[in-house]
Amino acid sequence: MDMTPRWALPLLFAGQAQKEIFHNEALTVIDALLHGRVESADSATPPGAPVAGQCWIVAAGASGAWAGQAGAIACWSAGGWRFLTPRAGMRVDVADRGHALFHDGAEWRDAAIRGDGLYLDGNRLVTTRQAAIADPSGGTVIDVEGRATMAAILTALRAHGLIGS
C-alpha cells in the first residue's frame, strides 16, 4: 500500500527517493482538509485569480480545469489545482453561504445549525430567540388550571432558551 486508505495521502518508504515530494503532497492535502473552509459551493468554473490555500466545492456542470470534478473540493496550490474526494461525515464551512455543508456519502447537504436557526429537512424548526411572551392573567376561576399550564409551558420554553424571559 503506497497511500493512506481514507484520504489517499502518500506514504513514505525506506530508501525512497525524493521523499520531500511525497511528504509535501501529503501536507498540502492535510492543509486543505483540516478545519475545512471553502469559498463557495455554487461555482462550476474555476476562479480567474485564486490564492494559494483557497478551496471550492465544485458545482454540477463543471468546466475548464474543473471538468469532471463535480462535488469534489478543488484547492488551489503552488502546483495548481488539487481535487479531494469528499467522504461521508466531512464538514466544511462555506464562506458565501454563512453556514456549513456536510457530505452524507453521496452529496453535499446544508448543515442543520445555521446562523438563523435550526433546520430539519430544509425546514426551519427553531429560529433566533424571540421577544418574551407575557404571562397569562385575568379570567375566571375555571381559567386557573389553564393559566397554570400555560405558565409551566412558558417556564420550560424560557429554560431551554427558545423564548426570552
Question: Would you write out the chain's pLDDT as a tens digit for each of its 165 residues?
Answer: 677 776 667 777 777 777 777 777 777 777 767 778 999 999 999 999 999 889 999 999 999 999 999 999 999 988 899 999 998 999 999 999 999 999 999 999 999 888 888 888 888 878 777 777 777 777 666 678 788 888 888 888 887 777 877
Q: How buried is residue 112: exposed, middle or buried, by Cβ count under 10 Å (0-12/13-18/19+)?
A: middle
pLDDT tens digits for range 76-115? 988 899 999 998 999 999 999 999 999 999 999 999 888 8
How far apart, in whole angstroms, are the C-alpha atoms of residue 138 and residue 147? 9
* Residue 117 φ then ψ, to 5°: 150, -170
Secondary element (H or E) of residue 33: helix 19-33
> Is this model's pTM higher than 0.85 or not?
no
